[in-house]
Structure 1
């Protein structure tokens, strides 16, 4: 069996999200998205390494990058090296103790409303793209108790699952004949191209497993 059930990326439940999610809201920051918002102000929501990396990456193209975190310590969930890069960038502004409470725009995003949690003040900030990087929930509840999962519910494979070691075993779970690829796999790179590559490799292992079983 090859498990490729993916994840559900956590979204913001704020006014304007449903209207603009298909045009101006993203859940990954790749070269494609960076080109779309070149020379435009953007906003990144999230307090972890993924959000910090996205802010640094987008700052290569965008003159203004707003990084919004709900607490006051950037280093709480971001590595020290990455936090230093964020704070040293003249293009990145870190909004601490802040959350996005509304998206404004007709057909495309024009502004976000930022809510300062300690003071309850609200401020409209120009932005054309919103990157929501606040985690993802893997579709693995049906596998609980059947194969090992990590603390966040992602499927453990290869050495992490006490399964086969080396390149030929990196996608196999502890249960023989059960493989996992893509976003649902613990430690995977959460990108479409990577998931496709993992699938093409894992399917070969599936065929090899079935062939070996047929010879028994």
Structure 2
């Protein structure tokens, strides 16, 4: 669930390609949920993906768990995706405060500027870890930063005992994720419902 700049709080859910009943998507739409772009659920072996991160010259990678790093990441992603940065800032801050050991936020910086960021979501005792986020500013795309963030998160996942990684990939990111070894397992479609603010 994420915040809304208009004050109402939208409810969100996800329908996977194997979910039942078969007409689940129709039922969600009939109930007022609006589908987003269908994504591909990819699975990868953490051991195969945990290579040494290779970054462009001048780029450094570090883990962020407090201000002002979280705010700078939210500002970067807000600018790239042309969205309000406040919901992401509140979400990351809340998640880190609630379970600091189960969320790893990584940032890539060049000359003190945030050029990319991504997250790893861990489940205590679980064998799967989730890759989330993964945003790079346009001038730095195509230089291997995204792949380096995959490798760095895979290494963190292995250190916590997770054998597999999973990610809901957009059409744009799926080819990049498949190159190092991710394989498709299912599809997933996000659905969003926003309550009316009229009285």
Query: Could you state the TM-score of these two structures normalised by the residue count of structure 2?
Result: 0.25
Larger Rg: 1
Q: Quick one: higher RCO (CA 8 Å, sep 6+), 1 or 2?
A: 2
Q: Tell me which protein shows more strand as a share of its residues.
A: 2
